[in-house]
Structures are given as structure tokens and as C-alpha cells.
Structure 1
Amino acid sequence: MTVDWRPHILRAPDSVSPHELERIESAWGIKLPDDYKRVVSLYQGMTPEPNVFRVGRGDNVFGVLLTISEHEGRESYSIMNSYEVIRSHVPSGIFPFARTPGGEDLCFDYRGSPEQPRIVLVSVEGSVYPVANSFQELMDGLYDD
């Protein structure tokens, strides 16, 4: 299924420079997946359609792709700000990239592989739930409710 990106915290696409992505990778000591970098470079701050994904025995909603670039007044949607909020509550190697409408974080989980992170959902209580084996698998599995 094709994923379309709609305005959420940003009204129009706002591109991300390779330098900004390298800054995140350097700060976290990881390499972000190429498919994620292609998507976030074009659609940071936007929401996918379809936007429902399966987690455990239920469904959840992909709310917004966190921003790489700083946007005044939208700091709470920044990938770096989100990481600072959750890092003391999650195991080392987990990094946020999106948020659900309920305030949960979709994250890259590098604990099993530094080359191909899995996708997990971190609840507001800090529990970690598996979602997909890769960013591309998450995108391919999005559906309408």
C-alpha cells in the first residue's frame, strides 16, 4: 500500500539536510536506516496515511514523524527533545522517531543489531513492545482502520 504524508505539526514538507541527520547519528553513536532517512528528509513533522499499525494483539496509530530540524514552538516534537525525555526510562539502544496520538513513542531498537534496528513502541509507562523488524516493514504494514 502506498503511504501518503499529510500535514500535522508542519503545514508543508520541510526538507532535512544530510548534515542534520549526521548530527543525530553522531550524537547517538548509531547509523539510521537509509529508508528512514529518505522518508524523514521529506516528511518530518507530518503524519502518514494510512496510519494504523499492529502492536501485540491490538492496533495503534502512527501520529507524527518527529522532526530532525528545530522548529520554534514545536520543540516537543523534536527527535532530540523526545530522546531526552525517554532516555532515562528505556534501555540503552532505543531511540524515538515518531509519536502516537496517545503520547507513546515509536522507536528504533538497536539492542539486537547495530546494522538493522527493530521497531518498538515505548508506552508512556516506559514498557517496550515489539512492532516490526525494520522501518520499511512498519511502513509496508500501515493500514486504515
Structure 2
Amino acid sequence: MKETIVKEIKMNEEKIGGYYLKVKRISPVTIPLFEVIQIEEKNKDGKLEKFYKEINCRSIDYISFPNNMDIIVDDEGLFKQGNPVFKIRETDQTNEVFVPGEFLIGTNIKTEEGKVFAGYPTEKELYLALAENKITIDLFGLVKW
């Protein structure tokens, strides 16, 4: 299945888009809200601007997770008072990461220029990747100064 996903992503490479899982918190509710979004963009600068808009930030950072799963986070998320802090982990593994603020989960593809963050070709493949990796996302706390 993972090989199929990688092949289809490579076929869609020129679009530099696809489906992403967006995670955020709605105040004052303290549980994560999950939303599948689609970003179709033909150039990297346009895609970057859409990432900024989707997670409400000015700069981003990437976190690599096993099995070609990557997370885009707000690079300044830890400095925003009241931002949620999420705990993301593989339930069968010891891999876990704490992420302040909203974030996007996608995949990566290898190009001649290196690794590129991309969306999954379909919503179904996004859900399959999350299920295969047994990813859990919980609200851990809030950024407090």
C-alpha cells in the first residue's frame, strides 16, 4: 500500500498539492478538531502562502515522522500565549512529538532537489496512512507564560 501511495504522489508531483489533515483547537473547547483540507497549487511560493494561511502563522517548520509522514508546524507557536500543545505519537512505537499551535499532516516525496512536503492524492489515502502508522493526537496543554 505504501508503495502505491508513493507512486501516485510522484504522478501528481507537478501539482504540488493534495489532501492534508489540519488539526486545531476551538476555544474554549479543549479537544482537537480535525479537518481534511485540499491544497492544489502549481508553484512552491503559492503553496507556502497557503500553509501560512491554513495554520495562521508567519513562518513554518517541518517535523519528519516515520513512514514518509511529515508535519508542518507554526515555527513561532511556542511563543503565542494560549496556543494549544498537541501530543502526536505512534501508538505502537516510542515516536512522539509535542506541537504548539495548529499544524498540518502530509507526506513527502523525493525530487531531484530533495524532499518536498506534499499532500496525499486522495482523502482515503490520507486516512489509510494515519491508520497504518497508528497515529494518535491528543491535547496536552496550553502555552502559558
Q: TM-score, normalised by structure 1?
A: 0.28
Q: Which has the higher strand share?
A: 2
Largest Rg, 1 or 2: 2
Q: TM-score, normalised by structure 2?
A: 0.28
